[in-house]
Homo-oligomer: A and B are copies of this chain.
Amino acid sequence: MDLDLRKLRYFVTVADRLHFGRAADELHIAQPVLSRQIRALEQDLGASLFTRDRHGVELTDAGRQLLADAGPLLASTHAVRRRVSAAARGNRRLMVGFRAGIPVMPAARAFEDRHPDVVVDVQRIEGDNQAAMLLDGRVDVGYVRLPIDEAGLRVTPLYTEPRVAVLPAGHRFADKEEVTEADLAGEPLVWHGDPSTQPTKRPHPNAGYPVRGVDETLEHVAAGRGISFLARSASVFYSHPDVVYVPIPELAPDQVCLAVAASHTSLVVDDFVTAAQSTAEITAECGNYEMWQRGGDAVTRHA
């Protein structure tokens, strides 16, 4: 009758490993049990999920579909647990995640004016975990930068901001007023995020070094392992003696959005989204936040 989430979790493990024995090992159950559970799941769904021919387990079309759906589904069950526990503790906290350089406090203050009983917590998130943090409920709402996997999320565009190139101090373009993408073509790239989550979408197809967070980016660039790109506002908060920032106006601007887990039904969250939208308009248009207005053109709001 109801989908069995335990079997679904087992399925995900088998689908990842494509090996019953090792999957069972990881799940700390015996292999025969796993075989039976998967078969039961197949019977329940009325579809075979794996082809077990000689030497090798392979996903069927149905299996691929289930694997694609299972992740968000399991994540949202975890999110439900978190939210219920929070509500049971008489939760008056809202966890707001943000990528480096995005100002959270204006929206938080506007929000706390309307909800004096709710405490806003803020927490840094990174490109490689921003979606997961939202999906499993570790943050209620997140200021994210594109690209992001929208599956399971409600994503509201806020504004865009130009990007800067991050170059080692001795770089041949380090003294330029600005650079173009063509100038830097062929340079090895220090890219932001885990290669398994965002293998495409990087500005250059070059091999390079995967990093987490702005600090690591700066260290790698300073060490001469490559160059990188940052949203301009992020560059304001981080500096390194052996690194320089050079505007690269040609590069597509960084898009800042507000994201909420699609399963997250809460008036409090909705109110924060509203507050964030109006304060984003103010920061973008009036520039009462210094770093937005630093040099160059004002940040443009994204339609």
Contacts and interface: CB of A to CB of B under 8 A. Distances in A.
B152 A153 contact: no
Interface string A152-177: 11110000000000000000000000
Contacts of A72: 76, 262-263, 265
A40 to B, nearest CB: 14
A84 interface: yes
A119 interface: no
Contacts of A153: 154, 262
A74 to B, nearest CB: 8
B152 A80 contact: no
Contacts of A83: 65, 69
A200 interface: no
A3 interface: yes
Interface in A58-95: 60-62, 64-66, 68-70, 72-73, 76-77, 79-81, 83-88, 90-91
A196 to B, nearest CB: 16
A225 interface: no
A37 to B, nearest CB: 12
A204 interface: no
Interface string A36-48: 0000000001111
26 contacts: A2-B5, A2-B9, A3-B80, A45-B84, A45-B88, A47-B84, A47-B88, A48-B88, A60-B87, A60-B88, A61-B88, A62-B85, A62-B87, A64-B87, A65-B87, A65-B266, A69-B80, A69-B83, A69-B263, A72-B76, A73-B77, A151-B264, A152-B262, A154-B155, A262-B262, A262-B263
Given A45-B88, A66-B80, A153-B154, 16 more contacts: A2-B5, A46-B85, A46-B88, A61-B87, A61-B88, A62-B87, A62-B88, A65-B86, A66-B84, A72-B76, A72-B262, A73-B263, A150-B154, A151-B263, A152-B262, A154-B262
